[in-house]
Structure 1
Amino acid sequence: MKTVLTKFLAFSSIALLMLASCKKDGVKVTATSGKPGALTASATTIVLTSATAGDNAVSFSYTPTDYGFKSAVTYTLQIALKGANFANSKDIGLTAKSKAYTGADLNTMLLSMGLIAGNPAQLETRIKSELATNVQTTYSNILTLTVTPYFDIPFYASLYVPGAYQGWSPATAMRISSPSDNKLYEGYVNYTDAGSLEFKYTSDPDWNHTNYGDAGSGKLSTSGGNLSVPSTGYYLLKADLTGSTWSVTKTQWGIIGDATPGGWGASTALTFDSATQTWGGTIHLTAGGFCKFRANDAWDINLGDNKPANGILKYGGENIPVTVTGDYKVTLDLTHPAFYFYSLIKQ
């Protein structure tokens, strides 16, 4: 009898242990979709410039998604063009609760997204939270940013253009440049004073290296006299150091195309702004049409965009598309030799 009782007690103990073990295994954590965290930004209107490229342009911060329990969550900052429903978004994995961008880093990303320098554009940003493959992805609130990128302007091989128009100082003179470094240089200089039309070319921003002057008949010489333009105005300057030649062409710029008031028959004149050294104006443009920039109401010197349009101009380039009808602030910037660009900003 004692043996039977002992066996019964032993069996009962094992059964109780097994029952306890089963109850412990039955405690499960059920994940919900979670309460989304909140995304904030230090700025929502951002105008980037090369002068502030090293400064922080914007910082994003977020509060974590609340799933009701502690767990490892993957957070991703998503940035996309407004209205695209985050298609082709830039996805940045986050390891901290904030993400800061310098002006240079943000500008590089914006240009890679197809934004045109000098033109304000709207972006949408949000935080994506992911817990596991069988748990619904959670998204934060959406922030809208208005951003204006800038061009990272290259410095090509150059000649300096000191002259009477700026006090004969090579260090502060305008330049003409050779993007292919093939000894063919070009650039634009504005001459405003009839008594200050003479200039020279220098190989460096000083008078201590090679200097080029007029050898007559459109030729350059390292021992020649001063070069000059025939009258005041805005000039395209060219120099060919292989052939030792030079030329100047006076220009007055306008915009032309079926998107412009004059259609393809006549240029709509732009006005030169001496403060910014750019050409511009407010012009009504029509959706579905195109436009280009040209000098002297003729096609000898005309500038179009690339395809797809990116705001950078080239001689004889593609027609520039206009997608929305309205009044536009048009700017043509020829101040950076051999690297020309424009902006069309709807008012």
Structure 2
Amino acid sequence: MKNISYFLMLILAVFAFSCEEDFMTPPVKTPVEGTAPVWVNQPSSDIDTVLFKRNEDGALLSLSWTAPVYADNIGVRYFLQLDTKGTNFANPIEFDRIAATEMTVTIGQLNAALMKRYNPAEKVEIEIRIRAASNEHLADLYTEPFSMKVTPYLDVPVPSAFYMMGTATEVGFTSSDALPTLKDGDVFYKYLKLTTDGAFRFSDAQSDGGFAYNYGKFATVSSNIEEAGDEDGNFKFTGETGWYEVKADFTNSELTIAPFQVGSTTYTFDPAEVYLVGDYTDTVAAWSPENSPAMIKKSEGVYTIETAIKDGAMLKFVGQQSWGDLDWGNLGGDGSEGIVGPKGKNGNITFDGGDKTYIVTLDLNKGAYMIEEAAIYLVGDATEAGWDIANAIELKWRSGHNAYIGYIPLKSGHFKFFPAKGSWDNGMGRITDSEDPKGGLLGGENKDIPSTNTTSDFKLYRIAVWYDTDASSYKYSVLDAEMVLVGDATPAGWSIDNGFNMVYAGEGKWVTYADMNASGGFKFFYETGNWNSGYKEYDAVNKPGELSLEGGDPNISTPGEGYYKLTIDTYNMSYTKELIATRKMYLVGSPNGWNINEGIELIWDATNNEWTLTIDLTADDAFKIFAEAGNWDSGFKFKYEMLSFEGGDPNMSTPEGAGNYTIKFSLAKRTLTFTKN
């Protein structure tokens, strides 16, 4: 038994020694060669291409090859290699390994590999091959290389929209104010004023969350651009302050800033004069620079004009009263994008104005134009809106007055003017606290304007704002709301201090009922005692009923002897006259069951030029005075502490409890009194 055990131990020892001999066998010093892979579809040898970011997911190369032949083909892997042509792949860039004998290379994949070594937007000639590898005992095998010429791009996203901002521009670094550019393929253009040594950058959004295109996002920049060296990595503009073309070319990863010239004329941001030309209103000759109106220069590089604009309008700006070199329009062609382009780069500005009045502004500093319906807004604790800018009260542009006009109720308190509802920007107040609250210059210290009404009850005022070219500033006036008839055709005669009062009917309209004489003339005046506040008929023969706000002859001729309803529409500069069959007034309300067809008639007192009525009223009676039987729209009421001709509530009510009253109603004096008998 012991002999068997010794024999087994001997066998195990021999086996162990044999295994150790195997483990100690040295590795091969020369890998075993095999047969190299061969291209199945030989790529073209004349490829010369420019790569574009917008096509990064597109296939550029579809490659396939044969498998190499090894004694043992287990575990063969493939690597795509590229290197500069002529270097014999001394330092190849290698793609991740794959197991298949085919692969597709996208534009983005090739660009990412190239950007590890080469500069963007610069053409390079490279060679590409496949490396086949198995294990350390088997040699790497390669396909024949093929060459191609390729221009890579800087891997920066090409935006769908592009905005410019910074201290080099007029808007600073406020994202919401960033200036839009024009997109033409992968190239963006902007024409604007740039300030020397100012910083700037771009974004794909007018918000703080936009992607920042700052220094390093373009492969090349023009010589007047350098790194700002600030924490945001902005650009710095080193050229002279002036008006420039900014071109952001994502195709070639190039940002350039250059002056713009047409012929021998270099464009500036502050030309001496600018005219609005085109076919936009019937009162201006179409496409006639020599007959076109000059725009008002509001400040350096900013020009504005108020004008009516029709539907289908087309317009442009020129810097001379001829078709010369200075010409601005909609950048890129006809349209209304609001971006300014110079001559050769623009089209007409198109706009459907509906014959309304607009403010047209050319801002060469920002490279922008704006067409806004003409309005100025009023806000303050003296107004019905309070200091709520979102509900500011509108003063519309009235071309006949050459001003923004509105009849606005005010109480005690203060107010200010603003160019846009909902925005506190660019508010206009009086220049100092010493400026007359009834009117004067706006601007300066922009002080809140105190109301001339010192009570807590609202009163109606005529408020106007206009631009005074002599003062180069806006002005305003606040007058008591009134309208008087004056003339020898009226009961008032030509007494400007004692005119026949009209009654406010809302929306800029005033109404009265008056006896007119067979001969003579008359005018409407918006301010007692002021001969310069008169409206006269513009053209009685060709345009009867149209008014103009200017002094002098002619007066408006009497419509003839009779009792007339006269209405003036100050907003639309027109008036109407309507002969009324009888001179009567009616009380309609609780006392007659609100029967508009059978009102209680007031008696005309020719001596005092008023209507009177003596009547018993109960404590809760409600009523109105009406000028015409059967016409609910002819009623009078009190509103804003004055007699009003507007429809709707409130009704009048018994003033001092039940009793017998004498009512006296005078249109000439705009008074309605109740005397308890």
Bin of the TM-score, shorter chain as denominator length: 0.3 to 0.5
Q: Greater helix percent: which structure?
A: 1
Name which one, 1 or 2, has greater alpha-carbon Rg: 2
Q: Structure 1 length normalisation: TM-score?
A: 0.46
